[in-house]
Amino acid sequence: MAKTDLQGTVDLLVLKTLAQTGELHGYGIVLHIQTASDELLRVEEGSLYPALHRMEQNGWISASWALTETNRRAKYYKLTAAGRKHLQEVEKNFEQLVKGVRAMLRYA
Amino acid sequence: MSIFRRISNLFSRGNLEREIQDELRSHLDMRTEENISAGMTLEQARRDALLRFGNPAVMQEKIVAEDAALTLESFFADVRYALRQLLRNRGFAAVAILTLSLGIGATTGIFSILNAWIIQPLPLKNPQQLVIFWRAAADVPNEPAYYFSWRDYLYFRERSHSFQSLGASFERGYTLTGSGEPASLHGGIASNSLFNTLGVTAFRGRLFLDDDNTGPPVAVISYALWTQRFHQSMSVLGESLTLNEKPFKVVGILPPGFSYRVLDQPHDIDVWTLIQAGDPQYKQDSVTAVAIIGRLNQGVTIAQAKPEIALLQAENDRHYPDIPKSTAYLSSLQQDNTREVRASLLVLGGAVGLLLLIACTNTASLIVGRNIQREKEFAIRAALGSSARRLLIQLLVENLVLYGISGALGLLIAFASVRGFVAWNPFGSLPAQPITVSLPVLAVAALLTVASGLIFGAYPAFRASRLNVNQALRSSSSGASAATGKLRSRNIIVLTQIALSVILLIGASLLLTTFLRLNSQPLGFNPADTHVINLALPHKRYSSDTQLTQFADRLSERLRALPGVDSVGMSYFLRLSDAGTDPFQIESRADLTAEHLPQATPITVGPGYFQAMGIATVAGRDFADSDVQATRPVAVINEEAVQRYFAGKNPIGEHIRIGDPKDPETQKNPWLEVVGIVASTKSTRYNQIAWESRPEVYTDYQQQQIHQYFANSDYTTMFFVVRTQPGVALGDAAIQKTIWSQDPNLPVGAVKSLGEMVAGLQTQPRIRARLLTVFAGLTLLLAAIGIYGVMAQSVAQRYREIGIRMALGADRQSVLALVLKQGITLTLAGVVLGTVLGLIAVRFMKTLLYGVTSTNPATYVGVAAVVCLVALVASFLPARRAASINPVRSLRTE
């Protein structure tokens, strides 16, 4: 069975965001998830940061300090090669989870 | 690698936290900014931002918690906590650390010593291929009894196929003169194949070449001699050394690590010379003794080579029937070098292993006991939210800290004990390689420490982690039912300890009995109040028997005149071990064939020798001044010879002749008339501890042709035994002065006493008995502490129960009996277990015993009695405390 949990889901959202946008700070990631999901997904904003830190430690994303368009210092994250590979994996796992859950629901 | 990043985070904790704070703040700021631009007031905007974000402090914690660093930091917190705990319980910490570090230190030390001797290969090329050849006596097939002879060497060299090469060598005392102070050197004489066989090459210059034994004499010196005597000067090469007044050209220096010893020699050889081709001692059929060393062919084992050598020996011996019966015995060079110390080292290793086991169990028992006391603390901490895993980790860390400190201390003790051993040098010789606390031994000790820390730490921790909080808090510390169950693990530990100390005590008492028996054995001579002087008279100046006799008479007279001297005797031979024998004939027993000829040690002595040695004359007479060259040659034989060869019949008046009748040389020996019988003296054999009587034939110094016996040497050796009146101290200096008054150029070695010579033969049994007694005492002490600890704890936990019993009418006696019974039951079980294991263990030390059997009932009963007595005392103290419990107060507590 595919190993999927809630944590994995946050990882998936963050990695996917970075894959779509290239380089982004934490706040930007929150905004992107909100917009891209048609306001359906809303994470507690702070809870994003432990996940970001962990993914950075795992070498999936890398971070650097830069200025925002409003001239504010912020930590920008971008995907590494290892992260891109990992994203493919989580995406696949998630597809399977969805498929499985859907099959469950359709079961009569 | 992420793991490195996490660990490096640990060291930049400050930076990391600041960075996280910055990041979170920038997020909040951005949200606030946006809120304001959406029309909120600053206050509203901030509130909303925080609401959406969650508690920043908690978030920060969570982020950091993602780091492995946190685990490590909590580990250090645990270590700090553990250290605080140990400091708070100083008594516990001191006993535990002392016990453990002694155990670890002694074990590491002893095994380092063992390692240098037994495990480390000799510093030679492929040392496992090197084999040394001996003749063993028929009744002791695995101990060297005699050297092979030069003629055997030549025979083996020509015919053996198991060996790549053979070498022959022998010790030869050399006096170096001519350059600076005269020095006495450990010399060796070798065939030119010796160094090739050993696989050694010169450090400087060259070693022996194939044709060196036909040219002018050459010598090779050791690195040690080159350093000490010649200060590493290269000019020594090519220089001429005067050894025993003959010139030798130095051609090479041996490498620094080179060591080649035969038969437990305590030293390496300083200077090597060659067996010269024309040397009359080394002719085709010479019986001159040599140590034969062989290098096995690739893939051939000692077991495979042995039958071949045995066969060749039997073949060669057939030509020479006069030699004593013997069998070939091959041993590896390494084993040969450790024969005498091996048994002692192994006994020591076993004892120290048991000690370590007891030290570990004692500490384990302490830890278990302490954790039982701390159960409430654990329960409270569990109730406050400590997870089982957390408690377990913390307990393990506590134990690791304890064992870590003990391990470090133990290593210091190991270093100290190795140094102490080298300085003490109890065996009189040190291994070829220096004893160091070796890396593998160190690793084993470290592993042992950590493993025992984890194992003994894990059990209590496991117990603690399974604690039922409710139950632990509810049950008071004096609750009777819970206590008995908790004590079971400690009971098992104490039982084991008693069993282990019983094993060691049995071993120690057997070895001690052995030593006492050896010591109380009547030796046939009186070792007290004697001085023994060994002189070497150079042939150059003492070239005739008359000169030797005159010297002996003059010196004896002078020595007798010294104040306090009782008697003085002279002998040409004085050995308390490994005296060889010669065949002799009995005139009235012409029926004895060559194989059944009597064998005895011939000893030539002067008048007064028996008196000075304290050897009793049993019948007939001693030698007298009237026994001279012109009178009838006489002999005195000992009781052992009478018993063996005269069947107890009176031999006085019988005629005997020393030598094999088939040997033409024997015809030159005179027939001797037996005029007296003396008491048998005891002597030992190489690496055998038993005293035994051997047949001896004494002859008179004036009637023997001494010179011919020493023809093969540059010197005639002579012994003087000086017996003083009891309690008179005769200084060595007085003796030296007396000797030099006769001959100022005679080197006088150390003056020994017969007592010292006897003690020297008992070195191994004495050391074994002493060390094992010390170890057994230590383990008994540790076991006593263990019993006391368990009993005391048991009484403390049954405080209330005992109080109730007493309130219900139990008197002091019955309470005392109740507690004592528990201790005695435990002890008896341990004694039974120990006795059974001991019976198995002592089977390995049968060869180390003398005058006592390994199943001697008195030993076992005695050990059991001692252990029971100690256990009784150890449990009496807690029992008395139990009996003095005040029932009213005990019921009021809690």
Residue of chain B whose alpha carbon sits nearest to that of A50: B63
Q: Is the pLDDT of residue B441 over 80?
A: no
Q: CB A57 to CB B26 under 8 A? A: no
Contact A50 B62 (CB under 8 A): yes
Digit-coded pLDDT (tens) for B679-702: 999 998 888 888 999 999 999 999
Q: Measured between beta carbons, which residues in chain A are less than 8 angstroms from residue B24?
A: 46, 49
pLDDT of B742 above 60: yes
User: What value does the mean pLDDT take over residues B370-381?
Assistant: 73
A83: contact with B, CB 8 A cutoff = no
- What are residue B568's DSSP bridge partners? B722
Q: What is the dihedral of CA B696, B701, B703, B707, to 10 degrees?
A: 100
In this structure, are residues B887 and B812 in contact, taking their beta carbons and an 8 Å threshold? no
In sign, the C-alpha dihedral spanning B668, B670, B671, B676 is: negative
Chain B residues with beta carbon closer than 8 angstroms to that of A44: 52-54
Residue scoring higher pLDDT (B395 or B516): B516
The pLDDT confidence band at residue B469, using thresholds 50, 70 and 90, is: low
How many whole angstroms separate alpha carbon B655 and alpha carbon B633? 10
Mutate to test the interface with B, among A11, A47, A49 (most CBs of B within 10 A): A49
Q: Do A74 and B23 touch (CB under 8 A)?
A: yes
d(CA B816, CA B811): 9
Let me know: does B189 contact B235? Beta carbons within 8 Å.
no
pLDDT of residue B497 exceeding 80, the answer is yes
Comparing CB atoms, the residue among A45, A54, A70 nearest residue B27 is A45
Q: What is the DSSP string of B89-118?
A: THHHHHHHHHHHHHHHHHHHHHHHHHIIII
Q: How many CB atoms lie within 10 A of CB B667?
A: 9
Q: Percentage of chain B surpassing pLDDT 90? A: 35
Which candidate from B19, B23, B65 shows the least CB-CB separation from A26? B23
Tell me the nearest-neighbour CA distance from B9 into chain A, angstroms: 10
Is the separation of the CB atoms in B621 and B635 below 8 Å? Answer: no
Q: Which chain B positions have a beta carbon within 8 Å of A72's beta carbon? A: 26, 29-30, 33
Q: What are B90-95's contacts with CB under 8 Å, separation 24+?
A: B92/B366, B92/B370, B93/B402, B95/B366, B95/B785
Instruction: For residue B66, give the nearest of A25, A57, A68 by CB distance.
Output: A57
Q: Does the beta-carbon distance from A50 to B67 stay under 8 Å?
A: no
Joined together, the tokens standing for residue B823 give 């201790």
A27–B62 CB contact, under 8 Å: no
pTM of the predicted structure, to 2 decimals: 0.73
- Cβ of B54 and A47 within 8 Å? yes
Predicted confidence (pLDDT) per residue in B151-167, tens digit: 999 999 999 999 999 99
pLDDT digits (tens, 9 = 90+) for B57-107: 877 777 777 665 456 666 777 888 888 888 887 877 888 888 888 888 888
Higher per-residue pLDDT: B861 or B884:
B861
The range of the structural domain enclosing residue A80 comes to 8-106
pLDDT digits (tens, 9 = 90+) for B324-344: 778 899 999 988 888 888 888
What is the domain-level CATH number for residue A73? 1.10.10.10
Asked if the Cβ–Cβ distance from A49 to B23 is below 8 Å, we say: yes
pLDDT of residue B221: 96
Q: State pLDDT tens for residues B750-788.
A: 788 999 999 988 888 998 898 888 888 888 888 887 788
Which residues on A lie below 8 Å from B22 (Cβ)?
Answer: 73, 75
**Which of B2, B6, B33 is opposite residue A70, by nearest beta carbon?**
B33
The answer to whether the Cβ–Cβ distance between A74 and B26 falls below 8 Å is: yes
Within a domain: A102:
yes
Nearest chain B Cα distance for residue A105, angstroms: 33
What sign does the dihedral B656-B659-B661-B666 (CA atoms) show?
negative
Residue A38 covered by a domain: yes
Mutate to test the interface with B, among A34, A53, A54 (most CBs of B within 10 A): A53
Question: Does the pLDDT of residue B175 top 60, yes or no?
Answer: yes
Q: Is position A101 within any domain?
A: yes
Distance in angstroms (rounded) separating the CA atoms of residues B496 and B358: 8
Is 80 exceeded by the pLDDT of residue B360? Answer: no
How confident is the model at residue B594, as a pLDDT? Answer: 67
Taking CA atoms, what residue in A is nearest to B48?
Answer: A45
With b for 16 or more beta-carbon neighbours within 10 A and e for fewer, the B748-770 pattern comes to beebbbbeebbeebbebbbbbbe
Asked whether the predicted pLDDT for residue B11 surpasses 70, the reply is no
Q: Is the pLDDT of residue B858 over 90?
A: yes
SS (H, E, C) B507-524: HHHHHHHHHHHHHHCCCC
Average pLDDT score over chain B: 85
Name B133's bridge partners.
Answer: B292, B330
Kindly list the averaged pLDDT for each block of 10 residues, start to end, along chain A of length 108.
54 90 90 86 79 85 88 90 90 86 84
Q: Is residue A2 part of a domain?
A: no
Task: State the nearest Cα–Cα gap between A91 and chain B, in angstroms.
Answer: 23
DSSP annotation of B696 reads E
pLDDT in tens, B647-664: 878 999 999 999 887 777
State the nearest Cα–Cα gap between B60 and chain A, in angstroms.
8
Q: How far apart are CA A14 and CA A87, in angstroms?
A: 9
Helix (H) or strand (E) holding A36: helix A26-36
Cβ–Cβ gap B53/A59 under 8 Å: no
Closest chain B C-alpha to A108 CA, distance in angstroms: 40
CB B611 within 8 A of CB B653: no
- Mark out the alpha helices in B374-425 (DSSP H runs): 375-383, 388-424
- Residue A81 is assigned to a structural domain of this protein: yes
Residue A98 located in a structural domain: yes
Helix axes B763-797, B754-761, angle to 10 degrees: 60
pLDDT at B53: 84
Q: Which of A7, A27, A73 to mutate to test the interface with B (most CBs of B within 10 A)?
A: A27
Q: How many CB atoms lie within 10 A of CB B44?
A: 14
Tally of domains in chain A: 1
Beta bridge partners of residue B538, listed in sequence order = B715
DSSP β-ladder status, B634-638 and B696-700: antiparallel
> The tokens 């150890």 sit on which residue?
B874
* Stretch 55-74 of chain A: residues touching chain B, C-beta under 8 Å: 57-59, 68, 70, 72-74
> Is residue A69 situated within a structural domain?
yes
- Distance, in Å, from the CA atom of B764 to the CA atom of B684, rounded to the nearest integer, reads 13
Beta carbons of B24 and A49 less than 8 Å apart: yes
**Minimum Cα–Cα distance from A61: chain B residue:** B2
CB-closest option in B9, B29, B52 to A45: B52
List CB contacts of B491: < 8 A, sequence separation 6 or more: B790, B826
- For the stretch B258-310, pLDDT in tens is 989 888 788 889 999 999 988 888 988 888 899 999 999 999 999 999 999 99
**In terms of CA atoms, which chain B residue is nearest residue A28?**
B27
Residue A1 located in a structural domain: no
Size of interface A-B (CB pairs under 8 A): 71
Residues 6+ apart with CB under 8 A from B311: none
Distance CA B779, CA B99 (A): 10
Q: What is the pLDDT of residue B1?
A: 44
Read off the pLDDT band of B474 (50, 70, 90): low
CB contact under 8 A, B63 and A50: yes
Q: Which residue of A has its CA nearest to B17?
A: A53
pLDDT value at residue B330: 94
* Cβ atoms B79, B397 nearer than 8 A: yes
